[in-house]
Amino acid sequence: MNSFNFWIPTEIVFGPGTEKQAAALVKKHGGTKVLLIYGGHSAEKSGLLETIGQEFSGAGIPFEKLGGVQPNPLLSRAEQGVEIAVSFGADFILAVGGGSVIDTAKAVAIGAANPGTPIWDFWTQKVPVTKSLPIGSVLTISAAGSEMSDSAVLTNDELRVKRGLNTPFNRAKFAVMDPELTFTLPKYQVACGTADIMMHTMERYFTLQDGNELTDEIAEALLRTVIRNGKAAVENPHDYGPMSELMWAGSLSHNDLTGLGGVKDFATHQFGHELSATFNVAHGASLTTVWASWARYCMGQKPERFVRFAEKVWQVSGGSVQETVLLGIEKTVEYFRSIGMPTCFTELGIGVQSEESLRGLADRCVFHGARTVGNFKKLNGEDCYLIYKDANH
């Protein structure tokens, strides 16, 4: 085993009806005044917000609400949340929703604890995070894994720039996980979530490190479980079995368990961030659009890793190394398409892009030459351009 640090302070409360424990959990973790953040109207129409509000009232916990969080969460909405939290005197932030809502809650928690500092200064690494308000979540979408991760992503809607921030202060105090809350999701959203869960695992799995046998086995088992249950969940989002497996897999895929001892890659996420910031496409869809192009471009860096992926995840055997690697990639592409996910620009709905557009995406991906992308194979601006170009059909 390679060396690693692993710290997961998030309390998980899993199962039907667990949303009724939200108020008790807030109180348990020191909250006395809560800002409740949520997304669209589904949380209201389903009665979920009313249920949680009643629990707060019964527990004597005053709260304010901020709704309207969008996919690809916006900086402006987080800034609005900071204003409410500070004026209300909130000492706890509760997210009711999926990854975008939870990421917004993390941003609000950091901003409210540091009211004199613009939130974007933290996301651009100008200012280190040294304090934050505690947060919790009631999860309604299985996808981002933000309920147990140390990461949060924001889009600066003025600059159209998307950035991520990793800090231990982003770890939630608790996550309430009732799979039944995901039953109302559209099938496309379930598919996007399935893709995101897979990608969080694969971004850790494709590493140059060897010797982490148990970590690899956990990642492979998680991928097989998501592949099997993801398709069943897309076909019937009301089936508790597959939806519950996806919910737990989503958390484990992004709490670092599936990559312990390795070095994260996350190049595909960087490519996807630029696509979603520029074209406002679904996060999971942006990832499946470019993954195969990344894989084909980088497979020569360590072919044996791709061979193991093909054999362990897709049960591919026989043939040369090259044939096995390419078959594993193709199996992944076929799966993405089978659940309705795009695998190129036209399938994503943005059409074939111009040379100028591709160069612009690549340039923004490497922060105008200030960084490389990925660790499995470090990619410069020209590399990023060629990967985008391969997906441009």
- The pLDDT, as a whole number, for residue 40 is 80
Q: Characterise 167 by phi-psi region: left (phi > 0), alpha (psi -120 to 50), beta (else).
A: beta
DSSP alpha helix (H) spans, the chain = 22-28, 42-45, 48-59, 75-88, 99-113, 119-123, 187-205, 213-235, 240-253, 267-279, 283-298, 303-314, 321-338, 345-348, 355-365, 381-390
- The pLDDT, as a whole number, for residue 168 is 96
Tell me how far apart the 2 most distant CA atoms of the chain are, in Å.
66
The secondary element (H helix, E strand) that includes residue 117 is none
The secondary element (H helix, E strand) that includes residue 152 is strand 151-156
CB atoms within 10 A of CB 79: 15
The pTM of this model reads 0.94
Nearest Cα residue to 181 out of 14, 347, 366, 390: 14
Kindly report the CA angle at 244 between 241 and 250, in degrees rounded to 5? 140
**Pairing status of strand 151-156 against strand 161-166:** antiparallel
313 Cα distance to chain centroid: 21
Q: Between the CA of residue 218 and those of 54, 179, 214, 257, 291, what are the distances in Å?
A: 40, 22, 6, 8, 21
Nearest Cα residue to 97 out of 193, 33, 228: 193
- The pLDDT, as a whole number, for residue 318 is 81
- The pLDDT, as a whole number, for residue 331 is 98
- The pLDDT, as a whole number, for residue 161 is 92
Nearest Cα residue to 167 out of 137, 183, 141, 146: 146
- The pLDDT, as a whole number, for residue 43 is 84
Q: Between the CA of residue 194 and those of 88, 234, 271, 341, what are the distances in Å?
A: 37, 9, 18, 10
Tens-level pLDDT at each residue, the chain (393 residues): 889 999 999 999 999 999 999 999 999 999 999 999 999 878 888 899 999 999 999 999 999 999 999 988 999 999 999 999 999 999 999 999 999 999 999 999 999 999 999 999 999 999 999 999 999 999 999 999 999 999 999 999 999 899 999 999 999 999 999 999 999 999 999 999 999 999 999 999 999 999 999 999 999 999 999 999 999 999 999 999 999 999 999 999 999 999 999 999 999 999 999 999 999 999 999 999 999 999 999 999 999 999 999 999 999 988 899 999 999 999 999 999 999 999 999 999 999 999 999 999 999 999 999 999 999 999 999 999 999 999 999
Q: What are phi and psi of 6, to 5 degrees?
A: -140, 115
Residues 6+ apart with CB under 8 A from 96: 36, 37, 38, 43, 48, 49, 52, 137, 138, 140
229 Cα distance to chain centroid: 18
Q: For the chain, which domains are there?
A: 11-181 (3.40.50.1970), 187-390 (1.20.1090.10)
- The pLDDT, as a whole number, for residue 41 is 77
